[in-house]
Structure 1
């Protein structure tokens, strides 16, 4: 179906009928995106809730889409749908407090050791710092996996004082139009810091970050591609996200 006439009718004339037809046409994209995201979430998170929030993301995508930017609507809409779902998950704070405490403990360990050593600590050094056996350290990484699902959508602050503004980590490595030169400069600095942090990760950790957050593969699919179990991929992903957050905390 050629949707160009509908887009033209909606964007040029503000036709509600055209808008509703576009939403109906792209609604399956919401279900598809929500289903793939649900695979990596606890069973307590209901698919119907994800779809409901995702629809709001689709509405925003249709209303704000600019066809002159030469970006496929499906790509743009998927980002908006995922963003809406991730924002809602973060706001609901669906991760148990005990898991968040473990995650905070681990992140603080990475921060303190990197501050002391001037480099990213090795697994055995973090385990020793926390008085854990290697097997206990690996188990802990698995336990905190839920806290890293939305990590690149977590809010950080750029700038200081009156110039401070909120951005998400994912926004710092996407092409977005900054509102003014100061915002642009702040985002560029954050982008540089995050890029350096990503490059400092071992190759397998960088690959998992890329496949999960940018190629949007599930942990199971990544495991198949890398010939590792899903639980092992989850542990490596958790470790990589902790390292990134520790580096960002030290440099911002």
Structure 2
């Protein structure tokens, strides 16, 4: 081996040794900075009240619903706290309160989502919005009818039809939230009621297939995918006002297809 090559090889070895020593020192510093399991357990113990407080705040923000047990929310929050303590890295510079805040809240909402409660709440909100939209459209249509031209029997018939249409909207919105486990409570449907609900759902889905493709797509986007009526209308190429009319027309058609089921449910 030439003298120059030997010298370069020695320099390379010295550089590698320096890098290795640096890596060992860095590893030692990191190991000292990382928390032991005992320290992580202490973090959990010291922040139990913090997690409870966040769970209580969410409970109050939801309006303290009777179908949700506060203890369940606290349990979800403590689960998030434990996960935060296990993942916390003090070398990143964030305070544990800040680091754990989003994980605790996220765990509470994940717990609600697992039970299906959030999904059903959103479905009810969509049902309310759909009913409001439908009634507003009905009011516009009624305004086009000259006052006094309808008989009492016709008014009663229109009211009955409107109630059927509102029932259809509710059923469609609830079906849009299907596929999620129910939150057990004293108001949960009995076994026979569940059978009726399943039969109604089957009838609804069959009736949906009888709709015009554009109408069906609008309802699917609005009630099953959670789009606003304006956004759903845009997806099918309808303006805001036309989407409202198309929605009412689709609900009318769906009600007609579902009428035997609706009549059976009220008998």
Task: Please classify the TM superposition score into its range, dividing by the shorter chain length.
Answer: 0.3 to 0.5
Q: Which has the higher helix share?
A: 2
Of structures 1 and 2, the larger Rg is shown by 2
Q: What TM-score do the two structures reach when normalised by structure 2?
A: 0.42
